[in-house]
Amino acid sequence: MLPVTSRRRGVLALTVVLLLLTWRSVAGQGTIFTIISPAGRRSLAATAVHGHEMFALNDLAAAFQLNVQADTLGAITISYKGKTIILTPDQNLASVNGRIVSLATAPTRSNQQWFVPVELVNQALAPIYGERLELRADSHLILEGNVTAPRAPEPAPTPAAPAAPVQPAPARPAPSQPAAPATPPPSLGTPQPTISTIVIDPGHGGSDKGVQGPHGTLEKDITMAVARRLKCAIEGRLGIRVLLSRDGAETLSADARAALANNTKADLFISLHATASFRTDTSGAEIFSLGLDRDAAQASATASSSAQQLPVTGGGSRQVEIVPWQFAQTRFVDQSKTLADLIEQQFKGHVPLDGRAITQAPLRVLVGANMPAVLVEMGYLSNADQENELGTGNFQNAIVQALYGAIVQFRDTLNTRAKATAQGGGAR
Ligand SMILES: [Zn+2]
| Pairing between β-strand 52-56 and β-strand 113-117 as defined by DSSP bridges | antiparallel
209 C-alpha to ligand 1 centroid (Å): 9
Is residue 106 located within the same domain as residue 210? no
E strand spans, 257-299: 268-275, 285-290
203 C-alpha to ligand 1 centroid (Å): 5
Q: Tell me the three state secondary structure of residue 280.
A: coil
Is residue 135 located within the same domain as residue 201? no
d(CA 269, CA 201): 7
411 C-alpha to ligand 1 centroid (Å): 26
The residue range of the domain holding 93 is 25-144
Residue at a domain's end among 128, 144, 160 = 144
Is residue 112 located within the same domain as residue 222? no
Residue 32 lies in a domain: yes
Residue 170 lies in a domain: no
226 C-alpha to ligand 1 centroid (Å): 13
- Helical residues (DSSP H) of 239-288, grouped into ranges: 254-263
273 C-alpha to ligand 1 centroid (Å): 4
Contact predicate 210/274, CB 8 Å: yes
Residue 49 lies in a domain: yes
pLDDT band at 328 (very low <50, low <70, confident <90, very high): confident
Q: Reply yes or no on whether the pLDDT at 135 is more than 80.
A: yes
Is residue 125 located within the same domain as residue 271? no
Residue 317 lies in a domain: no
119 C-alpha to ligand 1 centroid (Å): 40
Is residue 232 located within the same domain as residue 359? yes
d(CA 30, CA 265): 33
Angle between helices 393-423 and 219-238 (to 10 degrees): 50
Is residue 397 located within the same domain as residue 255? yes
86 C-alpha to ligand 1 centroid (Å): 30
Number of domains in the chain: 2
d(CA 298, CA 296): 5
- Residues in the 5 Å CB sphere of ion ligand 1: 203, 210, 273
pLDDT band at 20 (very low <50, low <70, confident <90, very high): very low
pLDDT band at 361 (very low <50, low <70, confident <90, very high): confident
254 C-alpha to ligand 1 centroid (Å): 11
Residue 156 lies in a domain: no
Of the candidates 120, 126, 143, the one whose C-alpha atom is nearest the C-alpha of residue 80 is 126
d(CA 423, CA 413): 15
Residue 58, domain CATH: 3.30.457.10
Q: Reply yes or no on whether the pLDDT at 407 is more than 50.
A: yes
Contact predicate 285/326, CB 8 Å: no
Residue 203, domain CATH: 3.40.630.40
420 C-alpha to ligand 1 centroid (Å): 38
- Residue 291 C-alpha from the chain's centroid: 22
Is residue 114 located within the same domain as residue 204? no
Is residue 211 located within the same domain as residue 139? no
Residue 79 lies in a domain: yes
Q: Reply yes or no on whether the pLDDT at 52 is more than 90.
A: no
Mean pLDDT, rounded, for 159-179: 41
Mean pLDDT, rounded, for 338-353: 95
Share of the chain residues as helix, strand and coil, in percent rounded to the nearest 5: 35, 30, 40
378 C-alpha to ligand 1 centroid (Å): 10
Measured from the Cβ of residue 31, the count of other Cβ atoms closer than 10 Å reads 13
> Max alpha carbon distance in the chain (Å)?
87
Is residue 140 located within the same domain as residue 201? no
Mean pLDDT, rounded, for 14-34: 58
Residue 188 lies in a domain: no
Is residue 91 located within the same domain as residue 222? no
Residue at a domain's end among 129, 144, 159 = 144
96 C-alpha to ligand 1 centroid (Å): 28
- Helical residues (DSSP H) of 65-143, grouped into ranges: 120, 126-129
Measured from the Cβ of residue 124, the count of other Cβ atoms closer than 10 Å reads 25
387 C-alpha to ligand 1 centroid (Å): 14
240 C-alpha to ligand 1 centroid (Å): 26
Taking the whole predicted model, whether its pTM rises above 0.85 is answered as no
| Pairing between β-strand 197-202 and β-strand 268-275 as defined by DSSP bridges | parallel
Is residue 236 located within the same domain as residue 97? no
